[in-house]
Amino acid sequence: MKKEILVLYDKDQSYIEKMQHFFMQKDIQPFRICVYTKKEALDNLLKEESVKILIAAESVYETWMETVLVPFCFLLTETGQITETKLKHVDKYQSMNCIWGIILNVCAMDQEFKIAKSALGKRGKCISFYSPEHRVLQTSSSICMSRLLGEKGKTLYINLEPNSGLNYLFTRSAQNDLMDLLYFYECNKEKMFLKLDAMSWKEDSFYMLPSVRYCKDFEGVDGTVWLGFLEEILQYGKFEYVVLDLSDAVHGLLDILEESDMIIHLKRPEREMSQIDIVKERQYQDTIMREEESSILKKEITITFPAMDTAPGMLCSTGNENRLMKVLKTQVLEKQEWY
């Protein structure tokens, strides 16, 4: 399939070439990226080729850009003095990753934009964290695991709690939530990975997706939809590891655990468990045992964490983070042949 043309136009050749290099390193690359610093050369291209996207610096803005036959025109603003324009304003001094995300979002919403789907690699490994108990450092541990795996290969962390609070912690995820990506899976699957690349961001050594914002939206998702959605991400091949932070609110929880490559089951030391914690664990084990063909127990690794000095903060901190990562590395990862 022929690639769409994306034009970068700026007098600052150093900046525009850095942007071109950054864009070309992306895993999804639906564009042929052309760089221009002179209008005459750009005019020739516009006469001979069909350009899909034009990204022009404020310093080269001219009124002809208002009527040029290019579906999507962006203005990289510097001073904010140009206001009377139809061009979409994009802050030039934000990260290039944010600018790339804006472009992919536009492409994802364009009905006419086509992208050839191609596998980027082999199916990723799915590592799921689930415990019937609460307050067992599950989110902290799954994020620590993502950091460890991120040092070995590309890793994506997905939180599947209805009220995780992560969208308040990470403000860069404010514009979208996981349900937006799920919508593309159900209604426009060929654009799903454009949206995934636009929404995800790198946090330390791993990538994250925004979590669910409204728990009511979460309740309506069928288990088969979650399974298909997660399998699509695993088959995508961009991520060697996908870490799932699961909860009881996920429909089809046992099916997701069944399809996982590894399950991390966190527990408190027995002396610290309340009676309700004990019976929750018992019911969970009974439920699994009733599934005659289940492979969950074979994939499950149970970890009993030592008590922490203080409750670790998100993405963990100092001594507590080191203790969590040491346990995960020695009790889980170093025992795996693939690590």
Judged against a pLDDT cut of 50, whether residue 310 lies above it is answered with no
Q: What is the mean pLDDT of the chain?
A: 86
Judge whether residue 132 has pLDDT over 50. yes
Q: How far apart are CA 70 and CA 283, in angstroms?
A: 61
Which of 112-116, 188-192, 239-243 shows the lowest per-residue confidence on average (mean pLDDT)?
112-116
Q: What is the pLDDT of residue 7?
A: 95
pLDDT at 208 over 80: yes
pLDDT, tens digit (0-9, with 9 covering 90-100), for 157-195: 999 999 888 877 776 655 778 999 999 999 888 788 888
Which helix (H) or strand (E) is 316 found in, with range?
none
pLDDT for 278: 86
Name the CATH topology of 4-109: Rossmann fold (3.40.50)
130-134, 247-251, 316-320: lowest mean pLDDT where? 316-320
Question: How far is it, in rounded angstroms, from Cα 132 to Cα 266?
Answer: 9
What pLDDT shows up at residue 299?
94
Give the pair of three-digit tokens for residue 203. Answer: 């946090």
pLDDT of residue 220: 86
Q: What average pLDDT score do residues 229-258 get?
A: 93
Question: In CATH, which of 3.40.50.300, 3.40.190.10, 3.10.129.10, 3.90.110.10 is domain 125-335?
Answer: 3.40.50.300
> What letter represents residue 110's amino acid?
D
Q: What percent of the chain has pLDDT over 70?
A: 90
Q: State the pLDDT at residue 233.
A: 93
E runs forming strands in the chain: 4-9, 31-36, 51-57, 72-77, 88-91, 125-129, 155-159, 201-203, 206-208, 241-245, 262-267, 300-304
pLDDT at 314 over 50: no
The answer to whether domain 4-109 and domain 125-335 are alike in fold is: yes
Query: How does residue 269 score in pLDDT terms, banded at 50, 70 and 90?
Result: confident
| DSSP labels, 98-132 | HHHHHHHHHHHH-TT--------SSPPEEEEE--S
pLDDT over 90 at 136, yes or no: no
pLDDT band at 281 (very low <50, low <70, confident <90, very high): confident
Domain spans of the chain?
A: 4-109, 125-335
Quote the pLDDT of residue 312.
Answer: 46
pLDDT computed for residue 311 by the predictor: 47
pLDDT attached to residue 97: 83
pLDDT in tens, 22-76: 988 876 667 889 999 999 999 999 999 999 999 999 999 999 999 999 988 999 9
